[in-house]
Amino acid sequence: MKSSKICSIENVRDILLDKHELVSDSLSLVIGKFSLDIYSNSQRLLDRLESYFSNIVTQSSQTSIEIIAIESDAVELNLNFIDWPREQGKTGRKDSYIDLDDGRVLRKVRTGMIFLQSRTLRMAAGPCLANENQIVNFINSQYMTWLQQNGWLICHAAGLVYKDTAYAFAGFSGGGKSTLMLHLLNHENTAYLTNDRLFIKSEKGHISAAGIPKLPRINPGTIVHNPRLHGLITEQQRQAFLAMPAEKLWDLEDKYDVFIDKIYGANRILAQAPLGALIILNWQRDSESDLIVEKVELATRLDLLDAVMKSPGPFYQYPDGAFYSNTTALPTQRYLDALKNIDVYEVKGQVDFDKLNCYCQENIFG
């Protein structure tokens, strides 16, 4: 469907609604002090989202945040979208956007999904069922905005909780942080915190870590060497993956959702915990050196801090309604201040998940 000239967020809203009727049901989610309600014209979409977010579904919500998700064909808006630059190591076009006077419109280049965000409206439209993960991400973006508006810093890290203390695992894209975290979840007294977006906040000398309700989305290379995950694929698929060259398997992109409660057991997901340590994966697949773990001072290793800091991204909206710009510098000093009392470890040498797994258990976890 093509649209006429667009001047405001209200124009976009009317185009996206396009006579679609919302079903009577809605979905309410709550994480601590944050809650939101989701409305849609698709009961099937609401049911699938309820299954995905099962551990944070609530029957009643007192929220000012609402999301409308419209299942439809791709909507072609008459707007001059601008590409949002990809992060280092990423290729291809992913997001494009345009800022109107009263909000931001975002488009997913590959799928045609449209997202509308202002201080009062949050909408998604397009083939939502075929791109459920993008709806999940949009929902999570609202929680991430709320966290950052309340003083939390976003980190590019996975996280788990061991005996009530959180441990963060950072590394450059494709470094294996999710694989390591899922290996460590095989141990007792552990719980899942987050897969790729971790938030930190320092208050009165104590630092907390918070995750987001986003399940790990992993590639075959993570699955084939972790018996706990083998059920995500058939044995025939596993053998075919194992027969691939190691480098090709490592780089293979074919995402599978890991439903933590089903695979690791009930009550294995937490939203927040005190942060105990940060482990930064700086190992190399082609290294011939033994794996080494060393404690470091981040203030003297800003190259490692680059693996931790994360852009808030195009969905982030400041409390005054303005949107994050891709030219905004990341607040290096805020990260250093927040992490100054946390033990930070650098992992160097060859990639060895089993050895690092044991090292974390014996030397880092309290």
Residue 173: what pLDDT?
73
Domain contains 240 = no
| CATH number, domain with residue 353 | 3.90.228.20
**What is the structure's pLDDT at 7?**
67
pLDDT at position 64 is 72
| 176 and 300 co-located in one domain | yes
HEC string for 49-90: HHHHCHHHEECCCCCCCEEEEEECCCCECCCCCEECCCCCCC
C-alpha–C-alpha distance, residues 358 and 366, integer Å: 13
Q: Cα–Cα distances in Å, from 203 out to 152, 194, 337? A: 10, 21, 11
pLDDT at 89: 56
> Does 287 share its domain with 210?
yes
Same domain, 305 and 162: yes
Through-space distance between the first and last CA atoms of the chain, rounded to whole angstroms: 57
Which structural domain, as residue segments, surrounds residue 348? 153-216+258-364
14, 162: one domain: no
Query: Distance between CA atoms of 31 and 358, rounded to whole angstroms?
Result: 32
Rounded Cα–Cα distance for residues 186 and 39 (Å): 37
Number of structural domains the chain divides into: 2
Best CA proximity match to 129, nearest among 67, 189, 194, 49: 49
Judge residue 319's burial from the number of C-beta atoms within 10 Å of its C-beta, 0-12 exposed, 13-18 middle, 19 or more buried.
exposed
In a domain, 236, yes or no: no
| Stretches in the chain below the pLDDT threshold 50 | 1-3
The answer to whether residues 95 and 206 belong to one domain is no
pTM, two decimal places: 0.93
